[in-house]
Structure 1
Amino acid sequence: MSFFKKCYDNFEEYVCAGLVFLMIFCLVLQVVMRIFTGSSFAWTEELSRYSFLWAVFVGAALAVKRGGHVRITAQFGRLGVKARLFFRVLGDAVWIAFNIYFITVCWETIQEGLEYPEISPTLGVVKGHVEMIIPFCFLLVSWRIVEQYWKHWRAGTLAGLVNYEENPQ
């Protein structure tokens, strides 16, 4: 497996692991400093908060990629495979449409935040830059949904998306 393919296939895992490590490092540093000096670095709390926020949104894309997000499918259990697949595609199309709408709304809000920047108190970064993770991850979620269909279509296993015995999603 090439380096770039491995990075692409495991992007969410690497980013989430790095962000969780950064968050834990900041929190441990904060605790150690409070124990030994009685005070702490102010930036560790803010950086751990931002890394947690980013890890949550990247983790949502990871859940979609692995098929681990919540789907309510009991109402389709008695339908045939084609009908279940139809409703799955319909549901995912609505989900992607919502994501695209949300991305546009977020982007407008972030542009305003960059035009009139709010600076974080300890790190001194523009909060609009930190908040860019939100539309990026909604786009990543949409991409992973489409990618899942593409992979199954190429393999000829679209029915596997809704066949609960073979693919418990």
Structure 2
Amino acid sequence: MKWLKWLDEHLEESILIVLSILTVVIVFTQVVMRYVLGGSLTWSEELARYLFIWMIYMGISYGVQKGKHLGVDAFPMMFEKKGKAVIEIIASLSFLLFAVVISYYVFDITLRVTRESAALELPMGWVYAAPVVGMGLTAVRLIQKIVLLVKDLKKGHEPEESIDLQEGII
């Protein structure tokens, strides 16, 4: 189960690294083609845009995993340990509901899309799948976070400033 633990800890990170490298290489190649060789690639801008869309949705999940999303802490500061934990659980459940609803509706749209992209002639379903995959992974990360919060609440621990899921479910 070592690979499962590695996958749990590094999935989004690995995907983001690959997508970032591909985007940089594609954009750099386009710049060299345009300004050094005097020509251009017809597909590079489109592919870079689609890779960026995927990075955005993978980044949402990565932010949840690392506990790095912005939040308003003025309200929770008015409560003690258990109150803070309950508010964090409610906020995570709300975010989970949002992620599930978005995944559900975008999945439906993704199945209906029949057109192709202009330059790459790539089925647009691949592009529309980014929110489904990203928000699906976000839902998984939120469930992990909620489980950790409930465990901490039962033990009587104060929730950490930002829960990093690396401490572990698996």
Q: Quick check: TM above 0.5? A: yes
1:130 equivalent to 2:123? Answer: no
Change (3 A) 1:65 1:129: same
Which of 156, 161, 165 in structure 2 is aligned with 1:168? 161
Tell whether the 8 Å contact from 2:89 to 2:149 is kept in structure 1 after alignment. no
1:28 equivalent to 2:16? Answer: no
Q: Which has the higher contact order (CA 8 A, sep 6+)?
A: 2
SS in 1 for 2:157: helix
Structure 1 position 157, deviation (Å): 6.3
- Which letter maps to 1:141? T
Tell me the equivalent position of 2:59: 59
What CA RMSD, in Å, does the superposition of the two structures yield over aligned residues? 2.0
Runs (4+) off by over 4 Å = 151-158
Query: C-alpha separation between the residues in 1 aligned to 2:151 and 2:76?
Result: 25
Query: C-alpha separation between the residues in 2 aligned to 1:84 and 1:3?
Result: 34
| Deviates most, 24-33 or 91-100 | 91-100
1:147 equivalent to 2:144? Answer: yes
Tell me the equivalent position of 1:120: 117
Instruction: Name the count of aligned residue pairs.
Output: 161
Change (3 A) 1:97 1:152: closer
Tell whether the 8 Å contact from 2:85 to 2:149 is kept in structure 1 after alignment. no
Change (3 A) 1:158 1:52: farther
Query: C-alpha separation between the residues in 2 aligned to 1:160 and 1:38?
Result: 61
Tell whether the 8 Å contact from 1:43 to 1:123 is kept in structure 2 after alignment. yes
Structure 1 position 87, deviation (Å): 1.5
SS in 1 for 2:35: helix
Q: TM-score, normalised by structure 1?
A: 0.86
Q: Which runs of 5+ in 1 are unaligned?
A: 162-166
Tell whether the 8 Å contact from 1:111 to 1:128 is kept in structure 2 after alignment. yes
Give per-residue Cα distances to partners, 1:6-39, cap 9 Å, x unaligned: 2331011110010010000000000111123211
Q: Which runs of 5+ in 2 are unaligned?
A: 163-170
Tell me the equivalent position of 1:110: 110
Tell whether the 8 Å contact from 1:19 to 1:55 is kept in structure 2 after alignment. yes
Give per-residue Cα distances to partners, 1:102-127, cap 9 Å, x unaligned: 112111211221xxx11111111111
Tell me the equivalent position of 1:164: none
